Chain A
Amino acid sequence: MIKNRNMFLELSPLPVSDIEALRYAGVRGETEEYENLLSLCKAELLPNLRGLVTYRVVDFYADGEFCEIGGIRVKSRSLSKAFFGSKSAIIFVATVGLTADRLVKKYEGISVSRAHMINALATERIESLCDSFADMAQRELFSEYALTKRFSAGYGDLPLEFQRDIFMLLTPEKYIGVTLNDSLLMTPTKSVSALIGIKNK
C-alpha cells in the first residue's frame, strides 16, 4: 500500500566538490592543470542548474529472492539483501535539469574537452543532489529510522526494466519533467532514479 502521495521539492545545491568532478572527468592525480577548464565549466553550468526531486514512500517486502515495492513484484536477490529488514522504502527521481544536456550539445562539435568536463561536473551535481536528498530524508522525514544506501534499477540483479515501474509509480514527467525513453534512458540525462530502504534503528 502507498503510504503517501507524490511529493516534489526543490533542494538548494551543496558546494561543488572539485575533486569529485575531476574524478568523474578521469583525472586521478595532480588536478592543477585542469582547474582552469573546470572553472570555465562551473561558470557556465552552475547558475542554471535545478535541484528537483519527486518521491513517495511505499511498502517494501522481500523474501530473499523477490521484492515487493509499492505492490510491484520484482525478482532481485541483491535488493533483498541490501534492504534487509526494511518494511518500507522511499522511491525517488531527481534531476539537475536540462542545462547540462544543452551545454554538452553546445560543445560536442567544437570543444569535446569542455563537453566532457561539463558532463563530469553535472554528474557530480546530480550525485550531490541525491546525497542531499537522502540527508534531508534522514534528518527531516525519518529521523527515527535508519536509511539504507540508495539502490537503482540496473544495480546488481535488479533489472533496468524496473525503471518503467518507477516511472509508473512516480510519474516524474509530470512533477519534475524527467522522461523515460524506449531504451530506458532518462532525459534530462543528469537524472537519477533510486530506492532507499527504511528500517528500524
Chain B
Amino acid sequence: MTFSEFSKQNIVILDGGMGTLLEKRGIKPGEKSEEWNISHPDVIYEIQKSYFDAGSNVVNTNTFGANLFKFEKAELEKIILSAVSLAKRAREDSQSKKEKFIALDIGPTGKLIKPFGDMDFEKAYEIFSETVRIGVKYGVDLITVETMNDSMETRAALLAVKDNSDLPVIVTNAYGTDSKLLSGASPETMAAMLEGMGADFIGANCSLGPKALFPVIESLLENSSVPTVFKPNAGLPEIKSGETVYNVSPEEFARDVVDMVRLGVRVVGGCCGTTPEYIKALSDKLEGLNPKPVSKKNKTVVTSFCKALKLGGKMTLIGESINPTGKKRMRRAVEEGDVDFIVSTAISEEELGADALDINVGVPGIDETAFIEKVVSSVQYSSSLPLCIDTSSAEAMEAALRIYNGKAIINSVNGKPSSMEKIFPLMKKYGGVAIALTLDENGIPETADGRMEIAKKILAEAERYGIDKKDIIFDPLAMTVSADKNSALVTLECIKRIKTELGCHTSLGVSNISFGLPKRDIVNSVFFAMAYQNGLSAAIMNPASAEMMKSYYAASLLLGLDDNSKNYVAAAENMEIGGMSLSVKKEESLSSLTLSESIIKGLSERATEITRELLKTVSAMDIVNSEIIPALDKVGRGFEEGSVYLPGLLLSAETAKSAFSEIKSSVSGSTSKNGVEIVIATVKGDIHDIGKNIVKLLLENYGFEVIDLGKDVAPETIVSEAEKHSADIVGLSALMTTTVPAMEETVKLLKERHPTVKVMVGGAVLNEEYARKIGADAYAKDAMSAVRYAEAFIK
C-alpha cells in the first residue's frame, strides 16, 4: 500500500522528537545530529525502531539539517544514504503490525531569505533540491518539510520538493503564541499558499504544546482542503530541580491531540520533548477512532505574506494605480526604475481602502521581467495587501510569481489556447487565482451567451490541469457604452450568470465602461454599484476616486454588507457631498505658514500645497533659492550645533524632498542639480542601510546626483558603477567590524581603477583614524558632514 492510499483511509501516526533523545544519549551541544547517522548508527536505528514499535506509521529520516550549507556534497550524500538505510532497517526490524513508511525529513536552512536576510531565494531552492534529489534516489515513501518559521523559505522548500519528486509531501510550520509564523503569516495564509502549490498535507509542528496550538489547527481545519497535520511539542521546557522537563505528560498530550483528531486532524505526531512513550499513548488513544473525512472548502482565497483575503460578500477592491497606462507620473517612475514612487503609491492605495493591489509595469523599452520582480519584491513587504500580477508576458509573470510570498492574483488568462497553455502551468506550479477574460481567438463575443461559452471552455481546460474552479475569477469585460448602448447590460448579465450558472467569482476593470465620455467617474461609479448588486466580487478601480469610494460605501450598506452601518458612517466623516474629493482634514492653524517654515517644521503635506501654489506665480529657481535652501541650511546648522535632532533633520529633509518633487513634476528638466555625482552603497556583507539612506536623502536635498546601489554590494559592482556614472565621490557605509574589510577592499579597488574618485566612508564602527587607515579620503561622522564634504566639489 502506498502512503497516499494509506492516508486516505486512516489516521496517520508520525514519530516524536529526536533531539531530546539524542541529548539523553550524549550528543554534545553544537554537534551536528545528522553526523550521528554515521558515527552512532545504532543509536539512530534504535530510536527510530522504538517509534515504529510505539505505533508510528511514519518515521522521519534523521536529516533535519542535512543540506549543502552544513555539509560538503559527498558528505551530504553519505549522511542521507545512511539516514535512509537506518530508517529502513528500523522499519524491517520493528514488530509493529501497523503500516510503516519512511519520510525524508527537511528542516529550515538556518539562513534567512532576502530582503531581510542575505540568502537568495534561488540559493535556498537549490539547497533544498539537492537534499530532495539524494533522498529520493535512496528510496523514501514521502517527504516532510517541517519547523519552517518563514513562509518564503517554506515556498522554496516545497517548490524544490515538487520539482524533484512525485512523492507525497507534508508541510508543517512553527507557529508562535500569536498563531503566526515569525515572518508574519497566519494559518489561513499558509493553507491557501501551500495548497495552491500542491502540498498534500498541511499543518503545524514544534514551538508550543498541543493546547496552545489549538487555534492554529482550528484555522487550518476550517480553511484547508487537504488533510491537516498536528505535531506539537510536549508543552514547554521547564527547569525542575536542575533537570529540564517538558510540562505536558504523555497522557495529557495524547488527550489534547486526539481532541483535534475528533475535529478533523488526520495526521498526528510529536515534536520537541516527545518520546516513544508519547507516541504510544497517542496510538493507544486513537485505537478505534475513525478519521473524519476531509472536506473541500470552496473558498477563493488570495494572500499577501501575512494576510488572507477571501472573495465573496463585500466587494474586493483591487487598486489600479500601479499601472503606467494613461498615468504620466507612474509611467515616468517605471521608465526611471523609481521603485520608491511605486511603493509610496502602494501604501497610499492601502490607506485609501484597497483590498489588493494591481501591479502592472508594462512600458515599451524596459526589461519588464527584471523590473516586475524588483517591484513585487519591494511592494510585497511594504504593503500587507495581496498583489495582482498584471502582465501579458508569461516570462514576467513567472518571475513575479516565483518570488511572490503568498498566493497572488494572476492577471490574466483568456480563452485563447495560447494563453491557457502559458498561464495554467504557472498557476499549478506557484499557486494563484487567475482572472480569466471571456475572450478568445475570435475576439470578445457581443452577447452574454457567447461570453458564457468561453467561460465554460476556460473552466474545462483549467480542470485538465487540475486547477479548481474556485481559483478562477471571470472578467466578463466591460466595453464602453459610448460605442454600444447595450454593452453594460451584457456585462451585468454575464456577472449574474457566471455566479449562478458556473458558481464562480467575477472581477471587472470598471472604468472601461465610460471610455470616450466626459465626467467618467459619474458613469463608472453608478455602473460599479449596478455590477455590485448583480454579484460582482472584485473590481479593479482607483481607490483615490471619491465618486467610486462613495458608491462603494453606499452600495455595501444598501446590499446588507455593512453591519450597523459602521463602515459607511466612518467613511462619511471624511466625505464631502458635492465635492469631488475625500477631504483630508486640514489643520487651519497651519495655513499661515510659509514654505520655509513648513520645511523647518517638517510638514510635508503643507509644503507640497504651498509649493504648488507658489509655482503659479514664482519661478522654480526662486522657490528653491529663497525658500527651500535657506530652510535646509537653517535645519542643517541646527543639527550641527545640536539644537535639532536627527529625526527633526530627517523630517525637514523629507519635506524639502516633497517640495522638490512637486517642482519636478511641474517643470521639465533639472532645476536644482549641482552637477556633482555621488555613488553610494552599503558594502558587501552588510545589510544595515538605514544610515546610508539618511545620507542619500540629505545629499539629494542639497542638489547632488545620488546613485544608490543599495546594500550588500560587491566591490566590483561599486567600482564599475562609479566608472559608468563618472562619479566624483563614492560614499561607503559599513556597520560591523566584520564588514570593514569589505570596505577596505572596495576603497583599494576604487583607487586602483579609478584614482581620481574621492571616497568618503561612514558607519557605526568607523572613525577618522580608521577611515584614513583603510585609504578613504574622508570620514563622515553623520549625514550633515557628508553633505559638507561633498559641497567642496560643486563646480
List A residues at the B interface (Cβ < 8 Å). Answer: 2-10, 22, 25-29, 33-34, 37, 48, 50, 52, 56, 70-72, 97-99, 101-102, 104-106, 108-113, 115-117, 119, 141, 154, 160, 165, 168-171, 173-174, 176-177, 179, 181-185, 187-189
* Minimum CB distance partner of A109 in chain B: B340
Do A5 and B693 have beta carbons less than 8 Å apart?
Answer: no
* Residues from chain B with Cβ under 8 Å of A2 in the complex: 28-29
Report B728-768 CB contacts with A as 1/0, cut-off 8 Å. Answer: 00000000111100000000000000000000000000000
Do A181 and B117 have beta carbons less than 8 Å apart?
Answer: yes
B284 contacts partner chain A, Cβ-Cβ < 8 Å = no
* Minimum CB distance partner of B30 in chain A: A168
Question: What is the CA–CA distance of A43 and B236 in the complex, to the nearest angstrom?
Answer: 31
Q: Which of B239-247, B394-402, B525-533 contacts A (4 or more CB under 8 A)?
A: B239-247
Q: How large is the interface on B (under 10, 10 to 19, 20 to 34, 35 or more residues)?
A: 35 or more
* Residues from chain A with Cβ under 8 Å of B30 in the complex: 72, 165, 168-169
Interface core residue of B182, B686, B688 (most chain A CB under 10 Å): B182
B614 contacts partner chain A, Cβ-Cβ < 8 Å = no
* Residue contacts A-B, CB under 8 angstroms, 9 given: A4-B243, A7-B239, A37-B651, A102-B184, A102-B381, A110-B340, A154-B737, A174-B110, A177-B174
- Could you tell me which residues of chain B, from 265 to 280, have a CB within 8 Å of some CB in chain A? none
* Residues from chain B with Cβ under 8 Å of A10 in the complex: 176-177
* Minimum CB distance partner of A189 in chain B: B688
* Residues from chain B with Cβ under 8 Å of A110 in the complex: 340, 343-344, 347
B714 contacts partner chain A, Cβ-Cβ < 8 Å = no
* Residues from chain B with Cβ under 8 Å of A160 in the complex: 736-738
Question: What is the CA–CA distance of A109 and B345 in the complex, to the nearest angstrom?
Answer: 12
Do A181 and B237 have beta carbons less than 8 Å apart?
Answer: no
Choice from A50, A165, A188, A189 contacting B178 with Cβ under 8 Å: A50
- Could you tell me which residues of chain B, from 9 to 29, have a CB within 8 Å of some CB in chain A? 20, 23, 28-29
- Could you tell me which residues of chain B, from 225 to 272, have a CB within 8 Å of some CB in chain A? 236-237, 239, 242-244
Do A116 and B654 have beta carbons less than 8 Å apart?
Answer: no
Interface core residue of A3, A98, A106, A112 (most chain B CB under 10 Å): A112
Whole-angstrom distance from the CB of B19 to the nearest CB of chain A? 8
* Minimum CB distance partner of A37 in chain B: B647
Do A28 and B110 have beta carbons less than 8 Å apart?
Answer: no
B426 contacts partner chain A, Cβ-Cβ < 8 Å = no
What 10 A-B pairs come out closest when comparing CB atoms? A109-B340, A26-B646, A113-B650, A168-B30, A183-B685, A177-B182, A173-B110, A106-B382, A177-B149, A27-B645
Do B645 and A5 have beta carbons less than 8 Å apart?
Answer: no
Given contacts A3-B242, A10-B177, A113-B651, 12 further A-B contacts (CB under 8 A): A97-B182, A105-B378, A109-B340, A110-B343, A112-B650, A116-B694, A173-B110, A173-B111, A177-B150, A183-B739, A187-B112, A187-B118
Whole-angstrom distance from the CB of A79 to the nearest CB of chain B? 17
Interface core residue of B184, B642, B647, B739 (most chain A CB under 10 Å): B647
Number of A-B contacts (CB under 8 A): 166
* Residues from chain B with Cβ under 8 Å of A113 in the complex: 602, 647, 650-651, 653-654
- Could you tell me which residues of chain B, from 315 to 339, have a CB within 8 Å of some CB in chain A? 339
Question: What is the CA–CA distance of A177 and B181 in the complex, to the nearest angstrom?
Answer: 9
* Residues from chain B with Cβ under 8 Å of A183 in the complex: 685-687, 736, 738-739
B690 contacts partner chain A, Cβ-Cβ < 8 Å = yes
* Residues from chain A with Cβ under 8 Å of B602 in the complex: 113
Do A108 and B689 have beta carbons less than 8 Å apart?
Answer: yes
Question: What is the CA–CA distance of A174 and B685 in the complex, to the nearest angstrom?
Answer: 23
Given contact pairs A102-B184, A160-B737, A115 touches B693 in the complex (Cβ within 8 A): yes
B107 contacts partner chain A, Cβ-Cβ < 8 Å = yes
Report B350-391 CB contacts with A as 1/0, cut-off 8 Å. Answer: 000000000000000000000000000010011100000000
* Minimum CB distance partner of A7 in chain B: B237
Question: What is the CA–CA distance of A110 and B347 in the complex, to the nearest angstrom?
Answer: 10
Report B667-698 CB contacts with A as 1/0, cut-off 8 Å. Answer: 00000000000000000011111100110010
Do B685 and A112 have beta carbons less than 8 Å apart?
Answer: no
B147 contacts partner chain A, Cβ-Cβ < 8 Å = yes
Do A168 and B29 have beta carbons less than 8 Å apart?
Answer: yes
Whole-angstrom distance from the CB of A53 to the nearest CB of chain B? 12
Whole-angstrom distance from the CB of B280 to the nearest CB of chain A? 22
Whole-angstrom distance from the CB of B237 to the nearest CB of chain A? 5
* Minimum CB distance partner of A165 in chain B: B30
List B residues at the A interface (Cβ < 8 Å). Answer: 20, 23, 28-30, 107-108, 110-112, 115-118, 147, 149-150, 174, 176-178, 182-184, 236-237, 239, 242-244, 339-340, 343-344, 347, 378, 381-383, 602, 642, 645-648, 650-651, 653-654, 685-690, 693-694, 697, 736-739
* Residues from chain A with Cβ under 8 Å of B383 in the complex: 106
Given contact pairs A5-B23, A101-B116, A106-B382, A116 touches B685 in the complex (Cβ within 8 A): no
Given contact pairs A26-B646, A106-B381, A99 touches B184 in the complex (Cβ within 8 A): yes
Do A179 and B239 have beta carbons less than 8 Å apart?
Answer: no
Do A112 and B653 have beta carbons less than 8 Å apart?
Answer: yes
* Residues from chain A with Cβ under 8 Å of B149 in the complex: 177
Whole-angstrom distance from the CB of A201 to the nearest CB of chain B? 18
* Residues from chain B with Cβ under 8 Å of A154 in the complex: 737
Choice from B29, B176, B686 contacting A169 with Cβ under 8 Å: B29
Whole-angstrom distance from the CB of B286 to the nearest CB of chain A? 28
Question: What is the CA–CA distance of A33 and B638 in the complex, to the nearest angstrom?
Answer: 15
Do A50 and B182 have beta carbons less than 8 Å apart?
Answer: yes
Do B184 and A116 have beta carbons less than 8 Å apart?
Answer: no
Do B739 and A71 have beta carbons less than 8 Å apart?
Answer: no
* Minimum CB distance partner of B31 in chain A: A168
Question: What is the CA–CA distance of A200 and B322 in the complex, to the nearest angstrom?
Answer: 64
Do A34 and B645 have beta carbons less than 8 Å apart?
Answer: yes
Given contact pairs A4-B243, A5-B20, A6-B237, A182 touches B646 in the complex (Cβ within 8 A): no
Do B116 and A25 have beta carbons less than 8 Å apart?
Answer: no
* Minimum CB distance partner of A154 in chain B: B737
* Minimum CB distance partner of B710 in chain A: A108
Do A116 and B237 have beta carbons less than 8 Å apart?
Answer: no
Do B687 and A185 have beta carbons less than 8 Å apart?
Answer: yes
Do A26 and B647 have beta carbons less than 8 Å apart?
Answer: yes
Question: What is the CA–CA distance of A37 and B111 in the complex, to the nearest angstrom?
Answer: 33
Whole-angstrom distance from the CB of A102 to the nearest CB of chain B? 5
Question: What is the CA–CA distance of A7 and B19 in the complex, to the nearest angstrom?
Answer: 13
Question: What is the CA–CA distance of A102 and B378 in the complex, to the nearest angstrom?
Answer: 10
Question: What is the CA–CA distance of A71 and B28 in the complex, to the nearest angstrom?
Answer: 10
* Residues from chain B with Cβ under 8 Å of A170 in the complex: 29
Do B236 and A174 have beta carbons less than 8 Å apart?
Answer: no
* Residues from chain B with Cβ under 8 Å of A188 in the complex: 112, 116, 182
* Minimum CB distance partner of B694 in chain A: A112
Do B685 and A106 have beta carbons less than 8 Å apart?
Answer: no
Whole-angstrom distance from the CB of A164 to the nearest CB of chain B? 10
* Minimum CB distance partner of A173 in chain B: B110
Do B244 and A5 have beta carbons less than 8 Å apart?
Answer: yes
Whole-angstrom distance from the CB of A12 to the nearest CB of chain B? 9
* Residues from chain A with Cβ under 8 Å of B697 in the complex: 112
Question: What is the CA–CA distance of A4 and B273 in the complex, to the nearest angstrom?
Answer: 13
Question: What is the CA–CA distance of A56 and B237 in the complex, to the nearest angstrom?
Answer: 11
* Minimum CB distance partner of B782 in chain A: A26
Choice from A6, A109, A111, A179 contacting B117 with Cβ under 8 Å: A179
* Residues from chain A with Cβ under 8 Å of B694 in the complex: 112, 116
* Residues from chain A with Cβ under 8 Å of B184 in the complex: 48, 98-99, 102
* Minimum CB distance partner of A120 in chain B: B647
Question: What is the CA–CA distance of A27 and B650 in the complex, to the nearest angstrom?
Answer: 12
Whole-angstrom distance from the CB of A21 to the nearest CB of chain B? 11
Whole-angstrom distance from the CB of B778 to the nearest CB of chain A? 22
